[in-house]
Amino acid sequence: MDKQTLQKIRQAYGWKEPQLFAVDSGLINHTWKVVDGNDVYLLQSVNTNVFTAPRLIDENLNLLADYFRENAPGYLFTAPLQTLADGSLPEIGNIFYRVFHWVTGSHTIDTVSTPAEAFEAAKAFGLFTSLLGEFDVTRLHPALPNFHHLSLRYYQFEQAVQNGVAERISECAGTIQYLRSQVSIVKRYEAFCAHSEVTKRVTHHDTKISNVLFDEQGKSICVIDLDTVMPGYFLSDVGDMFRTYVCPVSEEEKDLDKILIRKEYIRAIENGYLTDMGSELTGFEKEHFHFAGEMLIYMQALRFLCDYLLNDPYYGSRYPGQNKVRAENQARLLQLFREAVGS
Ligand code: GN1
Ligand code: MG
């Protein structure tokens, strides 16, 4: 970050001598830890290529903060802090910033290495949604419209197969064919959405483990990274936990033989999430618990492959072929996950 920008941020929040430390996280936003004397904050710049309406997100976060303050004051909701003069989303040199309190005594983890961690994280995401059970979900803006709309993602994938880079399309023929062969997942998703016993709730939409704060005893404190909190199906949150917790290696792994399904983690996610959500989900929704994983893994494979075919406009790539690696990784994970849950 350049000096001038930092100076403006410093003024906006009334900091004295802030020191910034870059935090390596996420594919989308930039994050820093800020130490200003005894005060510690988290500073984030918003990627407006992805989040094109940051003010709507800011409104969402402030609405939720008000709700928690009144209805569940014991819950640690990490709301954006107010600047001295100008709301909680200062715009500096065409870039939007937010600041949060750094939660002392908390830490995040990057990979799930015990079922207890999976349980704790799943419990934290379930608690978040269940505490908002009485909140009128229609008050939230869809921060990223159709973000987890599987049918749309499938359509975009087919479009990329039609209009993408010819060389990349032929390179990926096998993966394209496999993903097409799984299209019944889209049909099941559509039937799910249309069912009368399915409800839209306040859903996080990015439930990877690094979005949970843990305390020193390894218990979850709360969930963070709330930009994608919006009305959604439980499929999104449970699905992304299956996608990112059950396999010992991440979506970046090139060696497909390292992709495995750890069944005890499937159970841990179930037990953790249902701790508070067991009484909220309908019977029909519960019947789709494992389907959540199929749907999300499938969608992520489609998204990565689509991006690769179109020359990486969304995720970018740090080395040639990175999104192809990710797509093939997720396609393998899908295959193994479907086998593991017997579908
Ligand atoms: C993006 O930036 P990050 O890692 O929090 C993406 C998620 C994907 C994830 C895959 C807004 O999240 O949907 O699952 O990459 N977020 C957005 O790593 O597109
Ligand atoms: Mg995120």
Q: Identify whether residues 76 and 173 lie together within a single domain.
A: no
User: Of the candidates 41, 71, 101, which is a domain's last residue?
Assistant: 101
Residue 110, domain member (yes or no) = no
Q: What is the pLDDT of residue 257?
A: 98
Residues 69 and 20 in one domain: yes
Q: Are residues 337 and 261 in the same domain?
A: yes
The CATH number given to whatever domain includes residue 86 is: 3.30.200.20
Indicate if 37 and 160 belong to the same structural domain: no
Q: Is the pLDDT of residue 27 over 70?
A: no
**Tens digits of per-residue pLDDT, 36-69?**
999 999 999 998 888 889 999 999 999 999 999 9
Does the Cβ of 322 fall within 6 Å of ligand 1? no
As a whole number of Å, the CA-based R_g of the chain is 20
206 CB within 6 A, ligand 1: yes
For the chain, what is the domain count?
A: 2
Q: Looking at residues 5-15, what average pLDDT do you find?
A: 96
**pLDDT score of 47:** 87
252: left (phi over 0), alpha (psi -120 to 50) or beta: alpha
- Give the CATH number for residue 133: 3.90.1200.10
Q: If pLDDT is split at 50, 70 and 90, which confidence band does 323 have?
A: very high
Domain boundary among 70, 101, 132: 101
- Compute φ and ψ for 156, nearest 5 degrees: -65, -35
Q: How far is the C-alpha of 63 from the C-alpha of 70, rounded, in Å?
A: 11
Do 19 and 164 belong to one domain?
A: no
One domain for residues 96 and 177: no
- Expressed as residue numbers, the domain containing 40 is 3-101
Please choose from 27, 56, 315 the residue to mutate so as to test ligand 1's pocket, defined by most ligand atoms within 8 A of CB: 27
- Please list the helix, strand and coil fractions of the chain in percent, rounded to the nearest 5, in that order: 50, 10, 40
Each residue of 202-213: pLDDT tens digit?
A: 999 999 999 999
Instruction: Kindly state the average pLDDT of the residues 311-337.
Output: 97
pLDDT at residue 259 greater than cutoff 70: yes
- In sequence order, which residues have a C-beta less than 8 Å from that of residue 228 and are 6 or more positions away? 143, 144, 147, 204, 205, 206
- Tell me the pTM: 0.94
Q: Are residues 169 and 94 in the same domain?
A: no
Determine, yes or no, domain membership for 107.
Answer: no
Instruction: Compute, in angstroms, the gap from residue 45 CA to the centroid of ligand 2.
Output: 13
- What's the pLDDT at 43? 95
Q: How confident is the model at residue 25 (pLDDT cuts 50, 70, 90)?
A: low
Please say if the pLDDT value at position 26 is more than 80.
Answer: no
